[in-house]
Amino acid sequence: MDSPDFTRFSVGLTGGIGCGKTTVADLFAARGASVIDTDQIAHALTAPGGAAMPALVAEFGADFAAPDGAMDRAKMRALVFADPGARTRLEAILHPRIREATAAAALLATGPYVIFVVPLLIESGTWRGRVARVLAIDCPEEVQVARVMARNNLPEAQVRAIMAAQVSRAERRLAADDIILNDDGLDALLPQVERLHAFYLDEAARLAGLPNERL
The footprint of ligand ATP (CB under 6 A) covers 15, 17-23, 119, 147, 151, 182, 185-186, 189
Contact 182, 138 (CB under 8 A): yes
Tell the smallest beta-carbon distance from residue 10 to ligand ATP (Å): 19
Tell the smallest beta-carbon distance from residue 165 to ligand ATP (Å): 12
| Radius of gyration of the chain, Cα coordinates, nearest whole angstrom | 18
Compare residues 190 and 210 and give the one whose CB is closer to ligand ATP.
190
Tell the smallest beta-carbon distance from residue 186 to ligand ATP (Å): 5
Compare residues 86 and 120 and give the one whose CB is closer to ligand ATP.
120
Nearest residue to 181 (alpha-carbon basis) of 143, 128, 133: 143
Compare residues 105 and 118 and give the one whose CB is closer to ligand ATP.
118
Handedness of CA 33, 38, 39, 42 (dihedral sign): positive
CA atoms of 67 and 172, how far apart (whole Å): 39
Compare residues 13 and 65 and give the one whose CB is closer to ligand ATP.
13
Tell the smallest beta-carbon distance from residue 145 to ligand ATP (Å): 11
Contact 178, 134 (CB under 8 A): yes
